[in-house]
A and B are shown apart, each in its own frame.
Chain A
Amino acid sequence: EAGVTQFPSHSVIEKGQTVTLRCDPISGHDNLYWYRRVMGKEIKFLLHFVKESKQDESGMPNNRFLAERTGGTYSTLKVQPAELEDSGVYFCASSQVQGPGELFFGEGSRLTVL
């Protein structure tokens, strides 16, 4: 069974540009989460989808970040326009049950904004 996959693994962009990160959760997992880790700090929650609906987007930093999950399968996280402080590793995780129980993580997308 395929795990959670994220693309790209690393993206380097200039301030003001746009980047779109993609996450493919484990098949059948209705719950999809985005997290971000900046500079060795805590892993911060960004948002949570249940199927295609945003259950909780309380962690989204500002309106430069847009997450979608059309059809309840893969998800994208777009940053537009990117700022220096957006640099970090963006993790996607999925789970079958709410609660939540165990989360299955992808390997992350490292974003560097110059």
Chain B
Amino acid sequence: SQQGEEDPQALSIQEGENATMNCSYKTSINNLQWYRQNSGRGLVHLILIRSNEREKHSGRLRVTLDTSKKSSSLLITASRAADTASYFCAVSGGYNKLIFGAGTRLAVHP
């Protein structure tokens, strides 16, 4: 399967701490994307990193991509209670679709 697999499955931290989530995949990709889902809502796109990129930033988000290890990480700095959500990575590799993993549930406590 090409799907992204997130690690850890669940993460609990205090406000102000950093949160790091990892994603591994199995085949070559065109791009890798991260999405957030608040409880009961739809997924919201956070960031896209292409296979020829190694790092990308967007506000408090930092995404890295290591194609040799077939892995990516999402770092949320200075987390807030509002960051509480599930985070999914999704990979696209030669197919016109995204393949998602099971997500990481992040809980940020005030």
Contacts and interface: CB of A to CB of B under 8 A. Distances in A.
B61 interface: no
Contacts of B97: 33, 45, 48, 56, 100
B33 A102 contact: yes
Interface stretch (A11-19, A65-73, A78-86, A103-111): A103-111
Interface residues of B, number: 23
B102 interface: yes
B43 A105 contact: yes
A56 B48 contact: no
A106 B42 CA distance: 5
Interface size class, chain A: 20 to 34
Interface in A15-43: 31, 33, 35, 40-43
B85 to A, nearest CB: 13
A91 B103 CA distance: 15
Given A91-B42, A107-B41, A107-B42, A101 B100 contact: no
10 contacts: A40-B102, A42-B102, A42-B103, A43-B43, A43-B88, A45-B98, A45-B99, A100-B97, A101-B48, A103-B33
